[in-house]
Amino acid sequence: MGLLKRKRNICELEFAALKTVLDKTRLELEVK
């Protein structure tokens, strides 16, 4: 159970990081 929870936390972190990258990319595209 602990392992599953840790795995889910990592997925959430990766998802948040991906979302941040996408937001940054969109901002850069809008500036250009």
pLDDT for position 1:
61
Q: What is the CA radius of gyration of the chain?
A: 14
pLDDT for position 2:
82
pLDDT for position 4:
84
pLDDT for position 3:
84
Determine the Cα–Cα distance for residues 17 and 29; give it in Å rounded to an integer. 18
pLDDT for position 28:
94
- Beta-carbon contacts of 15 under 8 Å, excluding residues fewer than 6 positions away, are none
pLDDT of 1-32, one tens digit each?
Answer: 688 888 899 999 999 999 999 999 999 999 87
Determine the Cα–Cα distance for residues 23 and 18; give it in Å rounded to an integer. 9
